[in-house]
C-alpha cells in the first residue's frame, strides 16, 4: 500500500460524520508537525555538539586591567622610549668622561614626541552683513571662513608634505645617579653639562651621588 492511498484511507475514516472537513485539516496539520519533528530528530543524530567553557572565550579581566594600568608594550610607549633611551646613552657616555665623575646611571623622561610642522596653503574669506531689526536697530555681522590644505611635492611614485620645521620633544626631567656627585664641584659640573648639552632648565635636573659598593 502506497503512502498516498494510506493517507486517503485515513482521511476518509477521520472525515466521516459531522465536522469531518475540520477534523481532516487538523489531521493534516498534525502530520506536518510530526514530519518536521522527525526530520529534526534525524538531523540531530548526525550532528555533534561540543560544550565550550565560557571562561576560555573571554579574556582574563584581571590581565586586561593590568595591561591597561601598566601600559604594556603600546606603540605610544615605544615612541617615547625611542627618544629617551638614546638621550640616556649619550648623556651617560659624556658625563663619565668628566673629571671626578665615576660610573653614571641616567633617566630621562619626555612630555611628547617630536612635532612636525608642515607647509599649508591657507585661505581666509570674510563677509560682512548689515542687519536691521523691526525696532530700527542695526548691527554688523562678520563671518570669517578659513580653509586650507597641506602643500605636497612629488617624490618617486609618491607625494610628501613640505616640512616647515621640526620641534624637538620637551624634556620633563633628568635624573642622574653618579659616583663623585657628593663633591659639590663635580655636582655643579654635571648640572652645567646637562643644562647646556640638552637645553634643560636646572630645576628639571636632579643629580644624586651613587652609593659605594
Whole-number Å distance between alpha carbons of 113 and 173: 14
The structural domains of the chain, with segments of one domain joined by +, span: 3-46, 73-114+168-209, 116-165
How confident is the model at residue 70, as a pLDDT?
45
How confident is the model at residue 82, as a pLDDT?
85
- Class for domain 73-114+168-209, per CATH? alpha beta
How confident is the model at residue 113, as a pLDDT?
79
Report, in angstroms and rounded to the nearest whole number, the Rg of the chain calculated over CA atoms. Answer: 41
How confident is the model at residue 213, as a pLDDT?
72
pLDDT in tens, 158-188: 877 777 787 888 889 999 999 999 999 999 9
How confident is the model at residue 4, as a pLDDT?
59
Comparing CA positions, the residue from 192, 198, 151 lying closest to residue 173 is 198
Whole-number Å distance between alpha carbons of 37 and 34: 5
How confident is the model at residue 71, as a pLDDT?
46
Task: Quote the strand ranges of the chain, DSSP E.
Answer: 104-110, 115-118, 120-132, 138-150, 152-155, 158-161, 163-167, 171-178, 205-209
3-state secondary structure of 201: coil
Which parts of the chain sit beneath pLDDT 50?
56, 64-65, 68-73
Whole-number Å distance between alpha carbons of 101 and 152: 50
Placement of cell 620633544 in the chain: 169
Instruction: Name residue 99's beta-bridge partners.
Output: none
How confident is the model at residue 103, as a pLDDT?
93
Amino acid at each position: 500500500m502506497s503512502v498516498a492511498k494510506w493517507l486517503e484511507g485515513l482521511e476518509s475514516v477521520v472525515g466521516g460524520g459531522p465536522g469531518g472537513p475540520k477534523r481532516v485539516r487538523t489531521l493534516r496539520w498534525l502530520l506536518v508537525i510530526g514530519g518536521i519533528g522527525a526530520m529534526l530528530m534525524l538531523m540531530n543524530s548526525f550532528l555533534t555538539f561540543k560544550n565550550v567553557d565560557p571562561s576560555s572565550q573571554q579574556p582574563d579581566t584581571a590581565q586586561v586591567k593590568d595591561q591597561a594600568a601598566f601600559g604594556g608594550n603600546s606603540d605610544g610607549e615605544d615612541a617615547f622610549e625611542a627618544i629617551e633611551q638614546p638621550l640616556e646613552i649619550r648623556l651617560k657616555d659624556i658625563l663619565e668622561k668628566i673629571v671626578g665623575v665615576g660610573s653614571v646611571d641616567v633617566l630621562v623622561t619626555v612630555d611628547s614626541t617630536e612635532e612636525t610642522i608642515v607647509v599649508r596653503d591657507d585661505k581666509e574669506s570674510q563677509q560682512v552683513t548689515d542687519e536691521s531689526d523691526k525696532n530700527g536697530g542695526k548691527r554688523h555681522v562678520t563671518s570669517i571662513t578659513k580653509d586650507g590644505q597641506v602643500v605636497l611635492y612629488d617624490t618617486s611614485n609618491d607625494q610628501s608634505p613640505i616640512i616647515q620645521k621640526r620641534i624637538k620633544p620637551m624634556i620633563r626631567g633628568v635624573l642622574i645617579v653618579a659616583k663623585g656627585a657628593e663633591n659639590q664641584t663635580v655636582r655643579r659640573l654635571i648640572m652645567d653639562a646637562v643644562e647646556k648639552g640638552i637645553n634643560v632648565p636646572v630645576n628639571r635636573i636632579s643629580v644624586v651621588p651613587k652609593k659605594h659598593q
